Amino acid sequence: MNINPILVPFSAPRSYLALGVHKKDDWWCEHPAGLFLRELRTSRDEALVAHLVPLGPDGAPLAFERYESHPESFRAECAAGAWEFVFADPATILARADRPGLGLRLDFLAEGRRFHMLFAVPAPGAAAPDGTLLLANAHKNRVKLLLAARSGRLVPDDSRWDGRDALSMAANLLPPDSGAIQHSAFGIQHSGGTPAELAIREYPGEWDGAVPSDDFDAARAAQAADFESFLARVPAAPAELAETRAAAAHLLWSFTVAKAGYLGRDALLMSKNWMDRLWSWDHCFNAIALAPVRPDLAWDSFLSPFDLQAEDGSLPDSISEGAIVRSFFKPPIHGWALRRMMAASDVPDARLAEIYGPLARWTRWWLDYRDRDRDGLCEYDHGNDSGWDNGTAFLRLPPVETPDLAAFLAIQCDVLADLARRLGRPAAEAAEWTRIADAQISAMDRELFDADGRPLVRAAYTHETFSPDTLLLRIPVLLGDRLPARLRAPLLADLESDRFLTEWGYATESPASPLYKNDGYWRGPIWAPSTLLLYDGLRACGRADLARRVAERFCRMCAKSGFAENFDALTGEGLRDRAYTWTASVFLVLAAELAR
């Protein structure tokens, strides 16, 4: 299986390490084009650890010109040969030259960063450093690395130490024929003519003296087998989408990280490019796709934000290993997502009991803290709280009330009522959740649609309304039979026409709108989450035929353009982060439903 090496970082399950190819025109990366080692424990601006540069037989730096990527291995070619990379385990990358005389330079990005250091240390059992081992402390990347020359010798560059910081830092792996040495750490002796080989291991705290001894070919075979095992559990897709199914499965397989720091469970990140964290609605789409494949990982991914639920019941905006953000929130789609997970796999009552209380507190938070004018409708304080960051529903100064939020809360309350009954809680508890759901739908019908059934955005307190041309206001079709009849026909008419529907799916702003932008984030591009929500809504409203057409268009777009964060609604071209897991997840869900 071939993977686009320019778009998709090379990584492994549970790993915080990745190799990424950066182009000269990458809008988010100011460093030179080339191959970089990335560390995903820190912010995306500081995730690039080292530039990997091939060295020719004369020691002169060359440039990687071609890349080839597979789930189990990554190959980078230059004029003098190629380097191949594999993961031996989540913390260890093995690198091997394909011919003698080829070296490798790790140019750590130290300029402007503090406390970068490089140390030569003796191999276990050796009396002094012999070119076998280096320790790198890249403080701003929040990583310490062991560099072990399994064949060849490591030569650190002059660190230009200024008494506190290293103004530059690099390690050169020179091939064995530039001076053969015995490697006591591995118990073998390399002579001239042997290709160079390197191990890169991330270690926490202090290095414990352990040196990787994994066999390169065995590690590659183990990764290949692990991916094939994962792929075998992914639901089938139509035959013409088989390759795209495998590519989507690869993202879900390789973009997981191990529990650490604020992530109290193994979790699936949104990306191992620059959107390298977990947001508190993105994770829902991944959990839905994982439910029939890896139920335990699906549950861990779903519960990760709830582990960090505040005392008031709110969920964080985003989480990474080293950071938690509470400046914004995300929409309450968790009841809908849980219902879908329950339909995809058998969720034991013990797990439902585990989520019932946190889900109830999250729902109560919206009702208690985001209905400040106490008019029965909750508000978004910013577009980020809705997930549609710059959508045109937020053109006027928030807080604003929108029909999608009322619909999400109604569904979440209905799910809580179902859980209360299943878990044997008092009948009055289930009845109260149903009452709240009814009240949300009634208030939405009364206040957030005009007499003709046109959806509205309403300002809190002043209750002034306007009707932007955003797809967000059509999300209430998700209510299905719970949607009042007078609203259903106008919403379905919008979704059946070409107002939002293009050759590739639903644009988030009507292409006819003066505010539409091809690369306008939530002002035009097609997104995976809105696609799946509306797909479910169309089916719930009895329009399975239209839902299928939407699914087919979205899956065809992914087959054409990969799993981008979002897509140009008119051309289907991928935009922004080009390897996004919720896009892969929605593809797998829709492709499986097309196959059925």
Q: How far apart are CA 344 and CA 91, in angstroms?
A: 33
What pLDDT shows up at residue 180? 43
- Confidence check: pLDDT of 346 > 70: yes
For the stretch 1-34, pLDDT in tens is 899 999 999 999 999 999 999 876 555 555 678 9
Is 181 within the bounds of a domain? yes
Asked which of 224, 249, 284 is the last residue of a domain, the reply is 224
- What is each CA distance from 52 to 19, 115, 175, in whole angstroms? 9, 21, 15
Residue 241's domain comprises 234-595
Mean of pLDDT over the chain = 93
- Confidence check: pLDDT of 262 > 70: yes
Mention every residue, 6+ apart, whose C-beta is less than 8 A from residue 19: 9, 10, 11, 35, 36, 37, 38, 52, 74, 85, 93
Mention every residue, 6+ apart, whose C-beta is less than 8 A from residue 585: 248, 252, 285, 286, 288, 289, 290, 528
The first and second tokens of residue 21, run together, are 């190819």
Q: How far apart are CA 132 and CA 174, in angstroms?
A: 11
DSSP secondary structure, 181-241, as one string: -EETTTTEE--TTPPPEEEEEE-SSS--S------HHHHHHHHHHHHHHHHHHSPP--GGG
What pLDDT shows up at residue 21? 93
Closest CA to 552 of 500, 587, 525, 509: 587
Starting at the edge strand that comes first in sequence, how are the strands of the sheet with 66-69 ordered?
Answer: 66-69, 74-78, 81-89, 92-97, 197-202, 143-151, 133-138, 116-121
Q: How far apart are CA 314 and CA 329, in angstroms?
A: 8
The first and second tokens of residue 520, run together, are 């306008």
Residue pair 196/44 in contact (Cβ under 8 Å)? The answer is no
| Phi-psi map region of 421: left, alpha, beta (phi>0 left; psi -120 to 50 alpha) | alpha
Asked which of 205, 224, 243 is the last residue of a domain, the reply is 224
What are residue 242's DSSP bridge partners? none
Q: What is the mean pLDDT of residues 545-565?
A: 98
Residue pair 296/240 in contact (Cβ under 8 Å)? The answer is no
Is 494 within the bounds of a domain? yes
- Quick one: 305 and 183 in the same domain? no
For the stretch 93-106, pLDDT in tens is 999 999 999 999 99
Q: How far apart are CA 575 and CA 527, in angstroms?
A: 10
What pLDDT shows up at residue 137? 87
For the stretch 315-343, pLDDT in tens is 999 999 989 999 999 999 999 999 999 99
What pLDDT shows up at residue 109? 76
- Confidence check: pLDDT of 162 > 80: no
Buried b (16+ CB within 10 A) or exposed e, 284-322: bbbbbbbbbbbbebbbbbbbbbbbbbeeebbbbbbbbbe
Mention every residue, 6+ apart, whose C-beta is less than 8 A from residue 296: none
What pLDDT shows up at residue 115? 63
Q: What is the mean pLDDT of residues 373-394?
A: 97
* Residue with tokens 């710059």, as numbered in its chain: 390
3-state secondary structure 557-569: HHHHHCECCEECC
- Quick one: 240 and 214 in the same domain? no
- Confidence check: pLDDT of 189 > 50: no
For residue 499, give the CATH number of its domain. Answer: 1.50.10.10
Asked which of 178, 202, 224 is the last residue of a domain, the reply is 224
For the stretch 566-583, pLDDT in tens is 999 999 999 999 999 999
Is 272 within the bounds of a domain? yes
For residue 143, give the CATH number of its domain. Answer: 2.70.98
Is 274 within the bounds of a domain? yes
- What is each CA distance from 267 to 95, 209, 335, 362, in whole angstroms? 27, 29, 19, 20
- Quick one: 314 and 193 in the same domain? no
Residue pair 323/273 in contact (Cβ under 8 Å)? The answer is no
- Quick one: 136 and 253 in the same domain? no
- Quick one: 211 and 254 in the same domain? no
Q: How far apart are CA 300 and CA 308, in angstroms?
A: 13
DSSP 474: G
- Quick one: 378 and 344 in the same domain? yes
